[in-house]
Amino acid sequence: MSPLVIVLIVVGVLLVIGLVIAGVVLGRNGGDATQERLRFIGDDSSANEEEEGTEEQSSALTRQLNQVIEDRGLGQSIAIDLARADLKLTVAEFLALTLISIFALVGLAWLIYGTNVVMLLIGVVVGYFAPKIFVKRRQKSRLKAFDNQLGDAITLMANGLRAGYSMLQAMDALAREMPPPVSVEFRRVVQEIGLGISNERAFNNLLRRLPSDDLDLMITAINVQSEVGGNLAEILEIIGEVIRERVRIKGEIQVLTAQGQLSGYVISGLPIVLGLLLYAMNQEYIGRMIFPCPEEQELCSQPCGWIMIGAGALTIASGFFAIQKIIDIDV
C-alpha cells in the first residue's frame, strides 16, 4: 500500500473521531446557551422538552467520555496541565482541539506542499504538539506572574495577621484585594477550607497547581509554625522580603540574558524557516537532496542528503539547549 494512501486513511480516521468529539462538546455548550435563550423568548413547551432531552443525552455522553479519558494516565496528566494553566477545558475538549489543530496543520501543509507525505507527517506532528506547547507556555507565564505577586501577597497577609485577622480571613483579604492569579488561587484555598478540607491539604493542592519554590517556602513556614508556634506575621514578613529580593534579582538576570535568549531562538529557527520557504518556492530544487529522482535525470537523491539534514538538526538542537543552559541562572 502506498504511504500516501496510509496517511490519508489515518487522517480520515482522525477526522471522524475529531468531528464526533467536537460535536459532543459543541452540542453540550450550545445546548446550554440555546436553552437559556429560549426561556426568555417564549413558552414553547414542546421545544423546551426536546431541548432538555437533547441536553441531558449530550451531557451524559460528555460526562462518560470525560470519565473514561480522565481515568487513564495520559488523561490525568492532561487534567493537571490544564488546571495549572487555568484553562476551563475538560480533557475531552482539549483532545478535540488537538485533533482540530492536526487537521488544520495537515490542510495547510497540503495547500503549500501538495501531496508530499513527509510534509503531511510534519504537519501531523506540529499540529499534535502545538496545543501542548501553548499550555506549557501559559503555565510558565502564569507561574511567573504568581511569583511576582507572591511577595506583596505575603506582606499583605502578615499585615492582616498583625491587625487581628485569622489565617483564613487574611487569605480571604488576599482574594479580594490582589489581582489574578494570586486572588484566584487563594480564593480556591479559602473555598476548600470552607468545605471542610484541612489547611495542610488545601495548601498542598495549591502547591500542586502552582509548583513554585517561593510558595513551597511559605507553606513550609506556615506548617512549621502551626506545629511549634511562633510569631507567624514576623515570619511571613521576612519570607516576603526574601521573595521580593529574589524576584528583583531574577528580573535583572532576565534583562541581562534577554539578548542571548533571543539569539538562541533566531539562530535555531532561521535555518528551519528558510528551508521550508525554499522548499515551498522550488520543491524540485530542494527535493533532489532528499527524494528519489526519475531515472532519466543524472542528479538523484543520495543518502548524504538525509545525513546532512540529521547532522544539521542535531547541531541546531545541541546549540539551542546549550544556549538555554547558559542563560538559565538559578537564584
Contact (CB, 8 A) for 286 and 309? no
pLDDT at site 25: 46
Domain positions in the chain? 3-140, 143-245, 252-327
Find, among 133, 165, 160, 138, the residue nearest to 84 by Cα.
138
- Report the predicted TM-score, pTM, of the whole model to 2 decimal places: 0.69
pLDDT at site 247: 86
Dihedral of CA atoms 101, 102, 105, 106 in degrees, nearest 10, equals -150
d(CA 10, CA 15): 9
Find, among 178, 180, 209, 214, the residue nearest to 192 by Cα.
209
d(CA 116, CA 8): 11
Give the DSSP letter string of 152-170. Answer: HHHHHHHHHHHTT--HHHH
- Radius of gyration of the chain measured on its C-alpha atoms: 27
Residue whose cell numbers read 453540550: 28
pLDDT at site 73: 61
Number of C-beta neighbours around residue 198 at 10 A: 10
177: number of CA atoms within 13 Å, CB side? 15
Looking at domain 143-245, which CATH architecture does it have?
Answer: Up-down Bundle (1.20)
d(CA 261, CA 258): 5
Number of C-beta neighbours around residue 187 at 10 A: 17
pLDDT at site 107: 85
Find, among 96, 99, 20, the residue nearest to 61 by Cα.
20
Instruction: Fill in the amino acid letter for 218.
Output: M
According to DSSP, residue 72 is labeled S
- Phi, psi for residue 71 in degrees, rounded to 5: -70, -20
d(CA 246, CA 202): 26
pLDDT at site 129: 92
Find, among 69, 60, 78, the residue nearest to 24 by Cα.
60
d(CA 146, CA 160): 20
- Which residues in the chain show pLDDT less than 50? 1, 23-58, 296, 299
Q: Give the containing element (helix H, strand E) for 34.
A: helix 3-41
pLDDT at site 134: 92
Find, among 140, 131, 137, 59, the residue nearest to 94 by Cα.
131
Contacts 24+ apart (CB under 8 A), 65-71: 65/21, 65/24, 65/92, 66/90, 66/91, 66/92, 69/95
